[in-house]
Amino acid sequence: MLYLEEAFLIKKIYNFSRNRITSEKKSKKFYLSSTSFFPYLHQEIDESRIMENLIATEINSRFFWRTPQKDEVDFILEDNKISPLEVKYKNKISDKDIKTTIKFCKKFKLDEGIIITKDTNEKRIFTKENTKIIINLIPAWEFLLFMDKTN
């Protein structure tokens, strides 16, 4: 894997932890550096996997988040604060699809998260026990077109 990473053929991201040493020891995820490699590695075209890989190559995220119970957020954005970014490339986004993003927000005391969708563009607000969490559902084309290229 090291050679593939050094040749810029894959991108490695780490399981998020506030402790960087713990992140290094935990599981890692790998993405192809270009989605054009997909047809050579997968017989079936899975739009959702391709879109997740495309987002991975376009953003500068170094982390994802996975719990021992297998709850997962695809990417953790870091600017002045952390922010969860989940890719759910489908037409209809259910509350179940949003559950792990909300769980991440609660754990790290965040009030906002992002879910990349196929064509849904809306804000969903979840309130519980005086806590308000806003989940921004953004179509992939819009996210990629307007995202901050410095991220």
pLDDT at 104: 96
Task: Give the residue with greater pLDDT, 128 vs 91.
Answer: 91
According to DSSP, the β-strands at 131-139 and 122-128 are antiparallel
pLDDT at 83: 96
Cα 136 from Cα 151, distance rounded (Å): 18
Is a pLDDT exceeding 50 seen at residue 151?
A: no
φ/ψ (deg, to 5) at 101: -65, -40
Q: Which long-range contacts (CB under 8 A, 24 or more apart) does 44-50 make?
A: 47/89, 47/118, 48/87, 48/88, 48/89, 48/90
Is a pLDDT exceeding 70 seen at residue 118?
A: yes
How far is the first Cα of the chain from the last one, in angstroms, to the nearest whole number? 25
DSSP label of 127: E
User: Considering the chain, what is the average pLDDT of its residues?
Assistant: 89
pLDDT at 108: 94
Is a pLDDT exceeding 60 seen at residue 90?
A: yes
34-38, 76-80, 142-146: least confident range: 34-38
**Mean predicted confidence (pLDDT) in 19-33:** 78
pLDDT at 26: 77
**Mean predicted confidence (pLDDT) in 110-121:** 96
12-16, 72-76, 96-100, 127-131: least confident range: 127-131
Beta strand segments in 70-147, E: 72-78, 82-87, 112-117, 122-128, 131-139
Beta strand segments in 1-148, E: 10-15, 28-32, 63-66, 72-78, 82-87, 112-117, 122-128, 131-139
Taken in order 148, 33, 116, 110, is the CA torsion positive or negative? negative
